[in-house]
Amino acid sequence: MDDRGGRLPVRRRAQGAIAAVAALGLAAGLSGCSGTSSADVTLRLVAADYGTSAADSTRAYWDRLVKDYESRHPDVHIEVTVQPRDQVDRTVRRMADAGDPPDLAQSTDYAGYAAQGLLYRADELLSIPVQADFLGSLSDAGQVQHVRYGIPFAASTRVLFYNKTLFRAAGLTPPTTWDELAHDAQVLKAQGVTYPYALPLGPQEAQAEALQWMLGGGAGCTDDLGTYTLNSQRNTDTFTWIRDELVGAGLTGPVPPADLDRSEAYAAFAAGDVGMVDAQPALVRQAQRTGVAFGTVPVPGRDSTSKTSLATTDWMMAFKKNGHRDEIGDFLDFVYDDNNVLDFSRTYDLLPVTTSASDAMAASAQDKKLAPFLDQLPLAELYPAGKPSWPAVGADMTRRIGQAVAPDGDPADVLDQLQSAAVEAEGATAG
């Protein structure tokens, strides 16, 4: 047993097995050759690119990590393919559908593959200390039928960013309720601010903005039993309020929310054209680059600060097709070493998914800018990623939810359509 618990490193396991066979004088007979060394193993990993340009591509992170790992394990080779984040899911799906999945993949979806019996369980791969170190809410979200297949890789939460210069000029304080947010937006509009409140419900991950508002309204997209409740009365009331009090009042800027992408909203904030926007840690560095003076507060809720914030995470998963379970597990233990987790999180302004790395970040002065996001993570709500139907449901939300808040939109009708499609998707993936 090694000092991480349970499993010896790959080379030590292989050497131990070879030594035992040699002692029995059976090596040549078993293999028809000398049998004095184990065959090299190559693992293929499809990874998402969290960078914003070639200069900060995630390729550089994986190159460093793989070089370090292979120097310690010369009989294991890691081939990494880095894909844009909006393409990585499709790439993995094409490979899996062709019967040639990678050994490891990052994705926003793992449940569908788990339901098909294609993935290793997390407890088949990871050492006990690594398994125990994941933040509880993230670990639970990686389960299908109470078995963990999705291994959290990177997390983020949301806070309300506000432009300090614009707020100071207008004599405003950051809002804690929806009514205060609408009031502040009205004042900012009167001051000539282009986007008093930026509401990105366009094709780029609109389901995240929508779910944050659902949570602020005291609901969500599922109930406590995991049943879809997209068309609940609380959700209907939430999007009706957004339509009437924000969009209809002209407080969301010149681009209709259904056409405004997250990246466009962030760029407008960094340019000084946005008064307020719900955003992830990525906006911190973007705003700092342009010199915008900004502050952050918890996302407002209907009657007070939202009791629950949205957290999102991407998942690591391991396919069984090519075997190599021990090598995959050993490599993942290395990936989730604190130094590597912190290196990745700091490089890409994301939150660690392990308790030990989170504690280290919370105690570090260099990570102070991420503290507001880190504070939200322990009790944050995640997508229902353990439902095989969620990728289809989330994609449908992204396509349609912007229609609900258009000035002439019908929130109840749009949410009814989403609910019907969700029920159908759930039935198609059941069993």
Please name the amino acid found at residue 272: G
Q: Is residue 81 located within the same domain as residue 191?
A: no
Task: Summarize pLDDT for 395-428 with one digit per residue, the tens.
Answer: 999 999 999 999 999 999 999 999 999 999 998 8
Q: How many domains does the chain have?
A: 2
Residue that has been written with the tokens 């609900």 in this structure: 404
If asked whether residues 285 and 214 sit together in one domain, one would say yes
Can you tell me which residue has the tokens 């000398």? 34
Same domain, 53 and 202: no
Do residues 169 and 272 share a domain?
yes
Residues 421 and 287 in one domain: yes
- Whether residues 198 and 88 share a domain: the answer is no
Indicate whether 164 and 275 sit together in one domain. Answer: yes
On whether both 242 and 290 belong to a single domain, the answer is yes
The confidence score (pLDDT) of residue 136 equals: 87
Q: Share the mean pLDDT of the chain.
A: 89
Quick check: 183 and 175 in contact, CB under 8 A?
Answer: yes
If pLDDT is split at 50, 70 and 90, which confidence band does 94 have? very high
Instruction: Kindly state whether residues 169 and 274 are assigned to the same domain.
Output: yes
pLDDT at 20 over 60: no
Which pLDDT does position 54 carry in this prediction?
75
Q: Give burial (CB, 10 Å; 0-12/13-18/19+) of 363.
A: exposed
The CB density around residue 245, as the number of other CB atoms within 10 Å, is: 17
Q: Report which of 209, 347, 193, 349 is spatially closest to residue 271, judged by C-alpha positions.
A: 193
- Answer whether residue 101 is part of any domain: yes
In Å, the largest CA–CA distance within the chain is: 88
* Residue 429, pLDDT above cutoff 50: yes
What are the pLDDT digits (tens) for 245-281?
999 999 999 999 999 999 999 999 999 999 999 999 9
pTM for this prediction: 0.85
Task: DSSP letter for 296, please.
Answer: E
State which residues form the domain around 92.
40-154+314-373
Domain annotation covers residue 34: no
Count of Cβ atoms closer than 10 Å to residue 317 Cβ: 26
- Residue 294 belongs to some domain of the structure: yes
Per DSSP, the residues of 217-258 read TT--SB-TTS-B-TT-HHHHHHHHHIIIIIITTT-S-SS-GG
Can you read off the two tokens belonging to residue 380?
A: 């944050």
Among 331, 347, 373, residue at a domain's last position: 373
Distances (CA, A) of 209 to 46, 71, 293, 423: 27, 43, 23, 22
15 pLDDT exceeds 80?
no
Q: Tell me if 425 is assigned to some domain.
A: yes
Does 119 map to a domain? yes
Considering the domain architecture, whether residues 101 and 182 belong to the same structural domain is answered as no
Report the pLDDT value the prediction gives residue 172, as an integer from 0 to 100: 97
Q: What is the DSSP letter of 122?
A: G
Q: Is residue 238 part of a domain?
A: yes
Query: Does residue 146 sit in the same domain as residue 164?
Result: no
Apex 278 CA angle, 276 and 283, nearest 5: 90
pLDDT digits (tens, 9 = 90+) for 127-157: 999 999 999 889 888 899 889 999 999 999 9
Per-residue pLDDT averaged across 59-63, rounded? 94
Q: Is 65 a domain residue?
A: yes
Asked if residue 3 is part of any domain, the answer here is no
Same structural domain for residues 278 and 180? yes
Residue pLDDT, tens place only, 327-360 = 999 999 999 999 999 999 999 999 999 999 999 9
CATH number at residue 84: 3.40.190.10
